[in-house]
Chains A and B, each alone.
Chain A
Amino acid sequence: MTLRRVFKHGSLAAVVATGVWLLWPAHSQLASAPASGSPAGQAGQAYVLKFSPGQSYYPDSHPFGLGKALSGLATVVRAFEARFPDTKVEIISTPGVREYLVTQLAGGQAPDIINVNVEDVWTDVHKGWYVPLDGFLEAPNPFVVEKGDPNLPGAKQWWDMFRYQAISRGKAAPDGKNYCLTFDMVETGIYYNKDILAELHLTVPKTWDELLVTLGKIRASGRTPLVMHMGAYHDWLMDLMFDQLYFDLLPGIDLVQDPSREPYLQGYLDWDELAFLHTKGFFNRDDPRYVQIWQRMRELRNYTNQDLVSTDTMREFITQRAAMIWHTTAFSYRLSGDKDLGFRWGVFYLPPFTKKTSPHASGRPMCVIGGAATQFEVTNRAVSDTDPSLAMPERIRRSQRLKRVIALLQFMCLPEQNAKIVNEYPAFVPNIVGVDALPVLRPFEKILDRRYTTTKWVFTFDLRFSEIQQRMLGLYLTDGIDLAGFLDWQERNLTAACANLRRRKALDLGRLERAWQAKASARAGMIDLPPRVRKESVP
């Protein structure tokens, strides 16, 4: 009997003890809890910063499985730690999915520095998840100041260290603040197999129509002319074609000139402008330019890989089954680092539309759609040593942890440190003055000197809009739906996205209406405007 009782009570105690043990916070959680005020690492380390740099510079990784393991970022971080012995920087890898990030940010547990497209950040800036960097960027970089030369870029403003000012400053959110540090640049281009083109007596096309003819000849030779993934249609091509067809309308439809961004992004259409223009009858089946975007896209589809989802586009190009591939700067490393490639290659940028392509073609060169590659954002974790009930500006002012986080970014922007990271292998074009691009990336430098895109459709509206657009565009391009059916979806999608935008952002439509009226004369001579706009123009 006694033994049974001992067993019973012993079992109960064991169950309770196990439950308590399982639910007890880990030591590290206790150490970094916001209530403690000063996160501690090892003895003497007051700050343990978590840094998620993304995959491109992750230490010990082998991009494309080539070359030596990366060590540039780790070297720079160790140098930073040597300067600040009370700080430890943990370089961590986080899933590149928004689902993960959102939950981490909501709990204040995201890494101090993350690398995501800042347009995704804009959706959430009103929630206090991110730290605006303007105050720091407008102040001197202390690591430059200590060099003693007041003429060095960064001695007056950290901003001055960035080479591509337009793109870097253009990353400011629509609330006017900048949440993003544009660390380096990416651009896309058409990589082509010189040997195949020579064999077929073809040259690099100078216009869009020539491009289609060239692709047709390659197809006739039994090869896939051009391989590209679905995102290239949905994101890159959409913006390029929109810019080609709408550029001439900008004097009459670019309604808001943001003083902080306009010097860098001339004519850029923000989400409020797009939403307003939609109410005026733009971007639907009655807008001939809008319809032409999808028609031209479908034409190109005849020359690209059948399967837009699962085709291994790189393999198709490397094995010479495809003559061209539309890819980013990073692909240069894959090609230049392959000693057994077996063919010569080159890069060209997409050629412009002509009046033959579309009567609405502006005839201007294709714009830049790439821009910022590695985009560092500072999260609310960086101010976790302050009272969360305080306003963000006050938290920024008080936080000691944030100062150390910013110092790390400033340190990484020093040319001698930046080159160790960005130029460790040719993937991205450096964005720091004094750091030259690696030779293989120089063709992309010229592309980046072009005018920036008129808008970024994928990042302008909510994620639901982008998801539906990508899905239905994919269906349209694979003949699962006709143009009328696709436009029907797209109209409903855009209408819902605009409504959501108005609800969330409280757009000042009155201001836009006044700007619209003021530009009536600029629109007077424009052809093929949507019917509603034409009716308005009639006195």
Chain B
Amino acid sequence: MRLQGRSTLTCYGIILPTMVMLLTFVYLPVVWAFSKSFYAFEIGGASRFVGLGNYSEYLLEDPTFFPSLANMLLLTLFAVVVRLTVPLIVAKLIHSLPRERWRYVYRLVFLVPIVVPGVAVQLIWAGLIYSDSGLVNEFLRWLDLSHWTHGWLSDPRTALVCVAMVGFPFVGAFEVLIYYAGLSAIPQSVHEAAAIEGATGMRKFLQVDVPLVLSQLKLIAILTVIGSVQGFQSLIILTRGGPGFKTTVPGLWMYYNAFSFQRMGYACSIGVLLFLLILTLTILNLKYFKSSETVQGI
């Protein structure tokens, strides 16, 4: 009994540093952000309690609220759709290859780009593809379609679409690997039963494979929603949210308010609202998006 107690203590001791750091650098800032969202304050300046003033200002008065929310929803929807489809198709194609050697080669080929930092990818798109003398415009000039060339990221009609298209053809290595693992976990007996029932090709993919990787789809959906609602890294590199507010999202506006305009309390209130939005979307996802275990009745 005494030994067990000491062992337990040892285990707690091992996780203690992690917990301390987690509390200090993750949970404490979150609590701090919640409390500061009720204050008007700037870095180095005085703090003044304003109650729900920051929230009401953002939701009711800030002219960026509706356009940025719409941008965020569109980008999130687009990201969810492409990440639930394209990588799954690619994973299925790899998984369908007859020889393990080629399956390995393709997995490797799709995995290698994961080591390239996201910032570098964004800079390549901004500098080499969309710029005035970038790949797209030069290609159009080569086709003698100079009148079609323009500033893809500075034109309000094309900026949001161009931002969404960064990462084309959307074969994310992480998603491919997750789906590939899900497809590999489908028992051989299921494939055999499907073959006996006459399910092949697209029908088998839609009616057998997809339902059995629902857990993976659910995971990717949740991660994509979280990433899209929170993320603004690509936007700050590509367009800084412009032209105008055509590609601004709430996360980016939060960043500007916090570090450029020094409106920390206001930025905290935007952060809290984003947290609540992510929480709601995640709960809805967990509740209404079936997992493969549910489908299988496990």
Contact = CB atoms under 8 A, between A and B. Distances in A.
Interface of A: 8-9, 11-12, 15-16, 18-19, 98-99, 102-103, 105-106, 123-124, 126-129, 305-312, 315, 462-464, 467, 471-472, 474-475, 478-481, 489, 492
Interface in B232-266: 239, 241-246, 256-257, 259-263
B153 interface: yes
Given A12-B14, A16-B17, A463 B242 contact: no
B218 interface: no
B198 to A, nearest CB: 55
A469 to B, nearest CB: 11
Interface string B14-28: 100100110000000
B10 A12 contact: yes
7 closest A-B pairs by beta carbon, nearest first, are A307-B151, A480-B156, A475-B244, A99-B259, A309-B154, A127-B44, A19-B17
Contacts of B130: 310
A312 B132 contact: yes
B132 A475 contact: no
20 contacts: A8-B10, A15-B17, A16-B17, A19-B20, A19-B21, A99-B259, A129-B44, A306-B150, A307-B151, A309-B153, A309-B243, A310-B132, A463-B262, A464-B263, A467-B260, A475-B243, A478-B154, A478-B156, A480-B156, A489-B63
Given A98-B259, A309-B153, A310-B154, A478 B44 contact: no
A308 B154 contact: yes
A481 B157 CA distance: 11
B14 A307 contact: no
A536 to B, nearest CB: 30
Contacts of A103: 43, 259
Contacts of A467: 256, 260-261
A475 B151 CA distance: 13
Contacts of A305: 132
Interface of B is mostly: loop
B262 A474 contact: no
Contacts of B150: 306-307
A464 B156 contact: no
Given A15-B17, A307-B132, A311-B151, A474 B261 contact: no
A15 B13 CA distance: 9
Interface in B125-141: 126, 130-133
B151 A480 contact: no
A305 B150 CA distance: 10
B187 interface: no
Nearest to B17: A19
Given A16-B17, A308-B151, A480 B43 contact: no
Contacts of B260: 98-99, 463-464, 467
A311 to B, nearest CB: 5
Contacts of A306: 132, 150-151
Given A309-B242, A462-B261, A467-B256, A127 B156 contact: no
Given A98-B259, A306-B150, A312-B132, A471 B242 contact: yes
Interface of B: 7, 10, 13-14, 17, 20-21, 43-45, 63, 126, 130-133, 150-151, 153-157, 239, 241-246, 256-257, 259-263
A11 B7 CA distance: 13
Nearest to A8: B10
B234 to A, nearest CB: 15
A361 to B, nearest CB: 30
A9 B243 CA distance: 59
Given A124-B44, A467-B260, A481 B151 contact: no
A457 B56 CA distance: 29
A30 B244 CA distance: 46
B263 to A, nearest CB: 8
A310 B151 contact: yes
Contacts of B261: 462-464, 467
Contacts of A311: 132, 151
A308 B239 CA distance: 12
A474 B133 contact: no
Interface centre among A19, A99, A480, A481 (most CB of B within 10 A): A480
Contacts of B263: 464
Contacts of B241: 471
A12 B6 CA distance: 13
Contact of A480 (B7, B45, B246, B256): B246
A250 B234 CA distance: 46
Nearest to B134: A310
Given A19-B21, A464-B263, A480-B244, 17 more contacts: A12-B13, A18-B17, A102-B44, A103-B43, A103-B259, A129-B44, A306-B151, A307-B151, A307-B155, A310-B151, A471-B241, A471-B244, A472-B244, A474-B154, A475-B243, A478-B154, A481-B156
A269 to B, nearest CB: 23
A18 B261 CA distance: 38
A310 B257 CA distance: 25
Contacts of B151: 306-311, 478
Nearest to B244: A475
A207 to B, nearest CB: 30
A418 B239 CA distance: 39
Contacts of B155: 307, 478, 480
A126 B46 CA distance: 11
B42 to A, nearest CB: 9
A408 to B, nearest CB: 25
A346 B109 CA distance: 54
A89 B157 CA distance: 51
Contacts of A308: 151, 154
Contacts of A480: 155-157, 243-244, 246
A312 B256 contact: no
A486 to B, nearest CB: 9
Nearest to A489: B63
Contacts of B242: 309, 471, 474-475
Interface centre among B7, B44, B150 (most CB of A within 10 A): B44
B157 to A, nearest CB: 8
Nearest to A1: B3
Interface centre among A16, A98, A129, A310 (most CB of B within 10 A): A310
Nearest to A124: B44
A72 B8 CA distance: 65
Contacts of A129: 44
Contact of B126 (A16, A310, A475): A310
Nearest to A476: B244
A488 to B, nearest CB: 9
Contacts of B262: 102, 123, 463
